Amino acid sequence: PMHAFDLARLNGGIEVRMAAAEEPLTLLDGQEVALRDDTLVIADEKGPLAIAGVMGGEGSGVNAETRDIFFESAFFAPLSVAGKARSYGLHTDSSHRFERGVDAQLQRDAIERATALLLEITGGKPGPIIEVASDAALPKAAVVSLSGASVERTLGMALPDDEIVEILERLGMQVAANGDSQWQVTVPSWRFDVSIEADLIEELARIHGYNNLPVSRPNARLAPAMANETTQPLTSLRRQLVARGYQEAISYSFVAPELQKTLDPHGVAPALANPISSDMAVMRSSLLPGLVKALSHNLNRQQSRVRLFETGLVFRGELDSLEQTPMIGGLITGARLPEGWNGGRDKVDFFDLKGDVEALLALGGNLDAWRFEAAEHPALHPGQCAQLFFNGEPAGWMGALHPAARAELGLKVEVFVFEITLASACAGRLPRFAPLSKYPEVRRDLAFVVEEGVHVQSLLDAIRSQAGEWLTDLRLFDVYQGQGVADGHKSLALGLTWQHPSRTLNDEEINQLVDAIVTDGHTRFGAALRA
């Protein structure tokens, strides 16, 4: 990369130096920047003219009135210019090249060629070349030792000595024999990526042909790893969600600050000092920003029924106290069933998502260790939000996106999301054999009328505490509000099943348990049996 200055607009000679703090410079694109003292600049006696290796300044740029041109062709060490362009919100061809390295011996040839082209096209007279260089600072030609034994050991095959020499010389390298199957290889300046023996062997493999290298498999005595039956593998969780119609998404760990603030306003995550772009400037404190971005991408391409999940790390806290937590999250929107002649057009709701989450958590065989409790989350709908607890400890969230959040994100459809700590989702119970009873089951259906604010889970817990050790199933099969039920109340229909392992239960025993359940429900929740 080269830069052209208008010679008439320069003040005295030019120099390469570090900028002074807050030193102003107007760039060629019209942007005004306040330079930092860690930025290398090209300057004249009056002030900075360009950010070295990035972009020139407007005040010394070539324009329609220019008559005399001053060419600058330089070598900048990659570390001296790395990240400077992005730190000023820039990305140029020059910074792209210099950050990755250029040939340190090409500058004189480049300026001669540019001058010849200019004279050929426009005419004029060439001026003198002024060269300023420090031999100590410029990279030296690398001299690397190579042995045939190392080539054979690394590639798994021996290459003939004459082929090794031929390949390296065809790549512009100077090869000098240093004994039997030993060489000293001088690397040309334009191959600054070659510095050690392994680099040379990589070049030999590339030119010889990877497809021509032998395939061998290592032999080892490996003991099979013991399977931990109390932990569900991640593959099982993935298969379960895929079986329920989800597709796995893989998003960046970097997200836009605005998007993260909308979906996780209380989350604290580190900001990147050198972000790839402005919309990937902070580490994610939740999986939801990446999933919502993927959802928007699909909705914009006419995919109205979307079910996505993702697993990965989230980052919470400052750098000195950073916590990295594996999570699993997902979202659903659109129709409950795929389009078809026998399928309805109902939209998904909170309970569709809850069913998917319960099916996921049930893989561990300890669904009774989980609790769903109504709660409030700033990004979730206050009436459709639940916090998940595992063995009494917070383990995740689920619910509908808040309408305000949807409006801010430009989503016109209802979206339901969940996010759970992966360690809790993978935790399971050791399977144990339990004999099947040969005696008949006894079932009773009870319909309780309770106030609308009573949580079903609390009622179920109370029933289990009174139902005795032989209760094998407790199921909520209907929730009703309307005619026959007082305003502000709801009817909960429950199915209770008992079974004794060694004898038949009689009606008297069951009636005593039912009476205890009804009495406790009335005392604790004001529940009454529905007439």
Question: For 125-145, how does the pLDDT look when each residue is reduced to its tens digit (9 = 90+)?
Answer: 999 998 888 777 788 889 999
Please state, in angstroms and rounded to a whole number, the distance separating the CA atoms of residues 38 and 44. Answer: 18
pLDDT of residue 139: 86
Instruction: Report in angstroms the alpha-carbon separations of 225 from 199, 233, 432.
Output: 37, 14, 21
Q: Cβ of 212: how many Cβ atoms within 10 Å?
A: 9
Residues ≥6 apart with Cβ < 8 Å to 496: 443, 444, 445, 446, 463, 467, 471, 473, 474, 514, 517
Give the single-character DSSP code of 322.
Answer: -
Structure tokens at 317: 């806290």
Contacts of 327 (CB under 8 A, 6+ apart): 286, 287, 311, 312, 313, 314, 396, 419, 420, 421, 422
pLDDT digits 0-9 by tens, 149-181: 999 999 999 999 999 999 999 999 999 998 888
Q: Which pLDDT score is estimated for 220?
A: 86
pLDDT, position 138 = 84
Burial class of residue 293, CB neighbours in 10 A (0-12, 13-18, 19+): middle
Neighbours of 237 (CB within 10 A): 21
For residues 237 and 209, give the distance between their C-alpha atoms in angstroms, rounded to a whole number. Answer: 41
Residue 273 has a pLDDT of 83
Using one digit for the tens of pLDDT, what is the confidence trace for 422-452?
999 999 988 888 889 999 999 999 999 999 9
Specify whether the backbone of 442 is left (phi greater than 0), alpha (psi in -120 to 50) or beta: beta
Helix axes 161-170, 148-155, angle to 10 degrees: 90
CA distance 160 to 155: 13
Compute the distance between CA of residue 211 and CA of residue 279 in angstroms, rounded to an integer: 41
Mean pLDDT in residue range 311-335: 94
The amino acid occupying position 261 is: K
Beta-carbon count within 10 A of 157 CB: 13
- Of the candidates 370, 352, 500, the one whose C-alpha atom is nearest the C-alpha of residue 425 is 370
The answer to whether the beta carbons of residues 5 and 46 sit under 8 Å apart is no
pTM here?
0.68
